[in-house]
């Protein structure tokens, strides 16, 4: 899991951490719990037997650390400030594409992003936001509800610029609506990305 650290870890099973003093939040607690947790009731996560590493910083060094630990599937549920308004790849995208073609060949599942009327990304109108992650060698994930009949209307779907107009993102959609675990319920592509991690483990 590559993002800030979980605010509480008593219901999580984490095999290793990038830093012992990360910035923390509830969002990260739930993204970790989607993969693996030890809550008393409910699901124990989609991959309860995995080794869950917490690359608990948004620095690229934390991502490199996760790869050095041998992580073959990585979930990313945050974006850089410039990504929602950017029509092309940024350095993060290029770096993740490079990592994916080198040992241990990690599959990086990235939240497509969400938009709404008061979205702090400040894209006007909100639906003009670009899919946040635009690389070629990972998976960009939208969200849907339990029925899986259609992508959530709040999932970002605007494609990046390409020479032939042939890049279609997001790549896949997974359950990210009303996700409940470890005392939290949230919605968004942030919780769909770790669900795809489970499928690729």
Q: Using one digit for the tens of pLDDT, what is the confidence trace for 58-110? A: 999 999 999 999 999 999 999 999 999 999 999 999 999 999 999 999 999 99
Per-residue confidence (pLDDT) for residue 10, from 0 to 100: 96
Instruction: Using the predicted structure, report yes or no on whether residue 28 has a pLDDT greater than 90.
Output: yes
Predicted confidence at residue 132, as pLDDT, reads 97
The answer on pLDDT for 192 being more than 90 is yes
Query: Structurally, how many domains does the chain consist of?
Result: 1
Q: Which domain holds residue 24?
A: 5-200
DSSP state, 62? H
Q: What is the DSSP string of 64-107?
A: HHHHHTT-SEEEE----TTSTT-SS--HHHHHHHHHHTSTT--E
Q: How far apart are CA 105 and CA 68, in angstroms?
A: 11
Q: What confidence score (pLDDT) does residue 201 get? A: 59
25 in Cβ contact with 76 (< 8 Å): no
CB atoms within 10 A of CB 119: 17
Half-sphere exposure of 69 (CA within 13 A, CB side): 21
Query: Residue 200 pLDDT > 70, yes or no?
Result: no
| CATH number reported for the structural domain that contains residue 164 in this entry | 3.40.50.200
pLDDT surpasses 70 at 46 = yes
* Model confidence pLDDT, tens digit, residues 115-161: 988 888 888 888 899 999 999 999 999 999 989 999 999 999 999 99
**What six digits make up the tokens of 42?**
């409910």
Give mean pLDDT, residues 18-22: 97
* pLDDT at residue 174 is higher than 70: yes
Give this prediction's pTM.
0.94
| pLDDT at position 198 | 73
């Amino acid at each position: 899991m590559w993002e800030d650290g979980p605010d509480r870890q008593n219901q999580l099973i984490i095999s290793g951490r990038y830093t012992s003093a990360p910035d923390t939040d509830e969002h990260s607690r739930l993204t970790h719990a989607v993969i693996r947790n030890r809550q008393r009731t409910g699901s124990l996560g989609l991959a309860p037997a995995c080794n869950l590493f917490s690359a608990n910083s948004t620095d690229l060094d934390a991502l490199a650390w996760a790869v050095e630990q041998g992580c073959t599937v990585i979930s990313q549920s945050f974006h850089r400030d410039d990504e929602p308004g950017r029509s092309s790849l940024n350095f993060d995208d290029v770096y993740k594409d490079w990592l994916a073609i080198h040992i241990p060949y990690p599959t990086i599942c990235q939240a497509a992003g969400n938009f709404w009327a008061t979205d702090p990304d400040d894209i006007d109108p909100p639906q003009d936001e670009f899919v946040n992650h635009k690389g070629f060698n990972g998976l960009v994930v939208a969200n849907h509800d339990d029925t899986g009949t259609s992508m959530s209307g709040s999932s970002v779907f605007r494609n990046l610029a390409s020479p032939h107009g042939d890049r279609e993102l997001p790549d896949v959609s997974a359950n990210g609506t009303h996700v409940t675990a470890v005392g939290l319920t949230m919605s968004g592509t942030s919780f769909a990305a770790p669900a795809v991690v489970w499928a690729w483990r």
